[in-house]
Amino acid sequence: MGKRSQKSSVLMVCVGNICRSPIAEAVMGEVIVKAGLQKEWHVESAAIEGWHSGSMPDERALSVLAKHNISYIGYARVLTTDDFKKFDYIFGMDRSNLAALKRMAPDNAKAKVLLLGNFGLKPDDRIIEDPYYSVGEEPFEKIYQKCSIACQKFLEQARMEQIL
């Protein structure tokens, strides 16, 4: 693949931007760094709803990331119309996120709106469930594992220009 004049960009989105999308952002960032592509790729996360704007991620999300030696510093923010023009790829974590993203996308959107779980995960495992009301860290660990597989597979396919 030839050199690009600007970075490719990814936005990870969930309902509140405190559980799934920060984990996905951190994991994608780690995958990018391990591939030595931090000069070519940029990743952020955002929320569909503004309930937690300005908040740090759920402590269980941060704890799971820390167990995998991934640090995360970020605060919840709400998705904007401009994000659809700024980012190349916007990922929802579940079908509800995906439907909301498609409704919100302006006609002149640059971003491809995709389900993160469609990359590398088995058909019955593609939904990255919201763990907000769950007890303990296990559901967050499952999100981390799914994101690890999906982010790696997405980056592989994107680098080979196989994303439709």
Q: Annotated catalytic sites, by residue? A: 14, 20, 130
**109 CB neighbour count, 10 Å cutoff:** 17
Query: What is 107-122 written as a DSSP string?
Result: TT--SEEEEGGGTTS-
| Cα-based angle 42, 162, 141 (whole degrees, multiple of 5) | 55
Determine the Cα–Cα distance for residues 20 and 22; give it in Å rounded to an integer.
6
Question: What is the number of residues in the chain?
Answer: 164
